[in-house]
């Protein structure tokens, strides 16, 4: 069966978002992608959470799905992949176009992931980047714009945040054709002047631990009840752009750690 499937599927070239388009019997069948060490097979319009050891097993699974009549209901890459949409409903009003405050569908909607997203976006602001889509996790390509020169492309958050305790972003030259490296400090200093310690926004974001704990508690309750609309409104306090995003991320992390410690204390 594996030999038969290997002949029937073709893995396309890796796209910017990290997915490989797959055709089965010369027809689009979906995509495969890697996340946190596992591989997944995706057929637009159909949900599948199975994990595989490598891209080839994932592609073979697309052959199985194709044989049962499961094919993409929207175009797939190569002719193919539709940009990922948020797991949260769009907000109305002047923030409706700021889609990067949302998580993308492949990332589970959890309080932990929301806090990580707030930390990532706060750090991107410090480094002179603007995210153009939802936080995808540390090891997935993330579409963003360079505020030093206007370049747009995909970067890995794991590279920008540094590794093994080293917070130096990589690569040092940011991206091809950016401004000269020697100009980075002055440009970043100018951008730093935009950041504040207090939230000046009309919609107030949590700036104190008690406020952060209250927000996270409400989100946990909404997620538990399956109330996506309410989750969206409360997640706004975490993911919406704010000049004080650095302080917000810090208090959210402290609130999350406080909750985790309290939970551990209640266990036998």
Structural Rg of the chain based on CA atoms: 21
From CA 111, how far away is CA 214, in angstroms rounded? Answer: 12
From CA 182, how far away is CA 174, in angstroms rounded? Answer: 12
Q: What pLDDT is stored for residue 101 in this prediction?
A: 54
> How many Å separate Cα 214 from the centre of its chain?
24
Q: What is the mean pLDDT of each run of 10 residues along the chain (268 residues)?
A: 62 84 89 85 79 90 89 55 40 40 72 93 94 86 93 91 79 90 94 95 93 94 87 85 95 94 84
Q: What pLDDT is stored for residue 217 in this prediction?
A: 94
Q: What pLDDT is stored for residue 102 in this prediction?
A: 65
Residue 263 Cα distances to 52, 108, 132, 258, angstroms:
33, 21, 35, 9
Residue 82 Cα distances to 23, 85, 87, 244, angstroms:
16, 9, 15, 33
Q: What pLDDT is stored for residue 7 in this prediction?
A: 67
């Amino acid at each position: 069966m594996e030999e038969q499937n290997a002949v029937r599927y073709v893995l396309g070239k890796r796209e910017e978002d990290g997915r490989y388009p797959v055709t089965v019997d010369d027809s689009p069948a979906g995509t495969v992608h890697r996340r946190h060490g596992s591989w997944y097979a995706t057929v637009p319009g159909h949900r599948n959470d199975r994990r595989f050891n490598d891209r080839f097993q994932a592609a073979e699974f697309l052959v199985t799905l194709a044989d049962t009549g499961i094919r993409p209901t929207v175009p797939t890459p190569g002719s193919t992949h539709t940009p990922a949409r948020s797991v949260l409903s769009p907000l109305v009003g002047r923030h409706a176009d700021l889609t990067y405050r949302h998580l993308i569908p492949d990332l589970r909607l959890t309080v932990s992931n929301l806090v990580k997203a707030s930390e990532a976006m706060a750090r991107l602001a410090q480094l002179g980047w603007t995210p153009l889509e939802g936080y995808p996790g540390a090891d997935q390509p993330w579409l963003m714009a360079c505020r030093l020169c206007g370049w747009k492309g995909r970067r890995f958050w794991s590279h920008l945040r540094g590794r093994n305790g080293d917070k130096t972003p990589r690569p040092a030259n940011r991206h091809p054709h950016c401004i000269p490296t020697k100009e980075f400090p002055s440009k970043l200093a100018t951008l730093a002047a935009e950041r504040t310690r207090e939230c000046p926004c009309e919609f107030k974001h949590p700036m104190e631990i008690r406020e952060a704990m209250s927000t996270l508690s409400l989100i946990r309750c909404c997620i538990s009840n399956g109330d996506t609309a309410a989750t969206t409104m409360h997640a706004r306090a975490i993911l919406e752009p704010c000049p004080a995003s650095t302080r917000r991320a810090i208090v959210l992390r402290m609130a999350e750690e406080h909750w985790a410690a309290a939970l551990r204390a209640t266990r036998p």
